[in-house]
């Protein structure tokens, strides 16, 4: 899927003298505040992500090391916020269509809220989108590229709000039901109040859930071994009448094969409850390719069945118009050579999913992402990825269930696909430690699920009846 053309500029240059220390380094959920807000913007899918530092930059910058962002230094930060705006704007490439300007002291902002700002901008066509409630306006604010020159002309301690009145006809508001979401830690007292706020319990996240998007490998089973809580999980679904779709980035098997596998574990379901990344890739091709286009498939029966179901023609030579690559445990050098030659001749390169590893009973083995990396190295062409964390799979699952993001819980074992995909669409997320990743991985990651459980059994026990 195409990368987002909405950037994020995190303004984190202020001195915060009232705190007696850099506000950017105040602790929030075990991380420095500047890292927490940057992680929120990144999890939203905003790209690129630029952080503008000023006061105590040499102390703050190390807190951002290893994150996928660009750190900029504003040496004129004492002259006011306009100088940070100028530094951030200058770093944005021409491809950026809009940017959200965030403040470092708003820790309660969520990926869902930032996605809502982007959605409001796309739907309204406005050049400014600002959150509003009861006649008040808050931050963060989205500005379209058309107003970047006006922002760059501001001077002194003047921010983007200075443009609101002059461009009122180009301004749209995003209604905010709970203005507490926009609270800022402007003073030590307000920071202490925000830290003392009541935290949501697992029950409060789970009680409104009416639908599930659940990963399979590493969640329901590992290899051919069912994981703890599998049957109890499906009993819970039946007891509460939850809608569900089982999703997977593994494109090697058909939905029918997954139904058969669950049957061997004592669980009855249908193919309407299974959605794989091959189906997402086929849906992408059906939308963007000519009817009856030729495709060279790399992958198992899951890839072939999904492509044929969309009316695409499968061919075995390098003259194919498109190449679709899914995980294939029987991959050969000849298959990769044929795919590389087709891509070099101009074929569209589509990857079913980016998972670099696959959880087998023996441990982690190369996944579809490793195959994509091999072809990318051989062709210098970056694939279009259809599976998680891109939105196609989850959007198809929501449509199939007739569910909204607010009532749908994502359950997965991978931070960079399952959980990140849910966060970017504004779905609540539950991470299980029964598959790929550990609590140590969680502590190091910029991706933060709403809930964490050891396995399905622990999730079932926590669910409020």
Active site residues: 215, 217
Do the beta carbons of residue 366 and residue 358 sit within 8 Å? yes
Q: Which two tokens stand for residue 433?
A: 């430690």
Per-position b or e across 339-367, b if 16+ CB within 10 A of its CB: bbbbbeeebbbbbbbbbbebbeeeeeebb
Residue whose token pair is 């890292």: 35
Residue whose token pair is 């300007």: 101
β-strand partners of 214? 246, 411
Q: Check the CA dihedral 335-336-342-343 and report its sign.
A: positive
Residue whose token pair is 């139904």: 259
Do the beta carbons of residue 384 and residue 348 sit within 8 Å? yes
Report the C-alpha gap between 343 and 238 in whole angstroms. Answer: 46
Neighbour-count burial of 168, counting CB atoms closer than 10 A to its CB (0-12 exposed, 13-18 middle, 19+ buried): exposed
β-strand partners of 53? 12, 73
φ, ψ for residue 136 (rounded to 5)?
Answer: -105, 155
Report the C-alpha gap between 63 and 39 in whole angstroms. Answer: 12
Q: HSE on the CB side for 463, CA within 13 Å?
A: 23
What is residue 322's DSSP assignment?
E
Peptide bond into 380 cis (omega under 30): no
CB atoms within 10 A of CB 175: 9
């Amino acid at each position: 899927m195409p990368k987002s053309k909405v950037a994020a500029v995190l303004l984190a240059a202020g001195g915060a003298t009232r705190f007696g220390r850099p506000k950017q380094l105040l602790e929030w959920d075990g991380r420095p505040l500047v890292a927490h807000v940057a992680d929120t913007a990144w999890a939203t899918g905003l790209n690129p992500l630029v952080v503008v530092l000023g006061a105590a930059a040499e102390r703050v910058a190390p807190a951002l090391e290893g994150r996928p962002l660009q750190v900029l230094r504003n040496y004129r930060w004492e002259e006011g916020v306009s100088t940070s705006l100028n530094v951030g704007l200058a770093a944005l490439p021409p491809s950026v269509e809009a940017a959200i300007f965030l403040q470092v002291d708003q820790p309660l902002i969520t990926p869902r809220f930032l996605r809502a700002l982007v959605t409001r901008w796309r739907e309204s066509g406005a050049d400014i989108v600002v959150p509003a409630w009861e006649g008040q306006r808050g931050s963060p604010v989205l500005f379209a590229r058309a107003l970047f020159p006006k922002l760059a002309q501001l001077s002194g301690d003047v921010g983007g709000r200075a443009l609101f009145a002059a461009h009122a006809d180009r301004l749209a508001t995003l209604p905010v039901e709970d203005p507490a979401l926009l609270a800022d830690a402007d003073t030590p007292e307000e920071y202490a109040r925000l830290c003392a706020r009541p935290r949501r319990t697992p029950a409060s996240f789970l009680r409104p859930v009416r639908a599930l998007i659940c990963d399979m490998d590493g969640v329901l089973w590992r290899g051919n071994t069912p994981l703890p809580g599998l049957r109890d999980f499906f009993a819970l679904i039946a007891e509460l009448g939850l809608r569900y779709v089982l999703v997977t980035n593994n494109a090697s098997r058909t939905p029918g094969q997954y139904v058969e596998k669950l049957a061997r574990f004592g669980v009855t379901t249908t193919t309407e409850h299974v959605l794989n990344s091959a189906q997402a890739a086929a849906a992408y091709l059906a939308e963007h390719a000519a009817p009856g286009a030729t495709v060279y498939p790399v992958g198992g029966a899951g890839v072939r069945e999904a492509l044929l179901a969309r009316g695409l023609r499968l061919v075995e030579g390098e003259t194919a118009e498109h190449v679709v690559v899914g995980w294939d445990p029987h991959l050969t050098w000849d298959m990769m050579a044929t795919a590389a030659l087709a891509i070099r001749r101009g074929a569209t390169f589509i990857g079913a999913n980016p998972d670099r590893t696959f959880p087998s009973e023996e441990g982690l083995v190369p996944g579809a992402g490793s195959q994509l990396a091999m072809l990318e190295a051989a062709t210098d062409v970056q694939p279009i990825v259809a599976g998680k964390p891109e939105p196609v799979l989850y959007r198809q699952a929501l449509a199939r269930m007739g569910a909204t993001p607010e009532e749908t819980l994502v359950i997965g074992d991978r931070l960079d696909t399952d959980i990140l995909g849910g966060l970017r669409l504004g779905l609540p997320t539950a991470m299980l430690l029964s598959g790929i990743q550990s609590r140590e991985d969680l502590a190091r990651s910029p991706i933060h699920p709403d809930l964490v459980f050891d396995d399905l059994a622990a999730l079932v026990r926590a669910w409020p009846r």
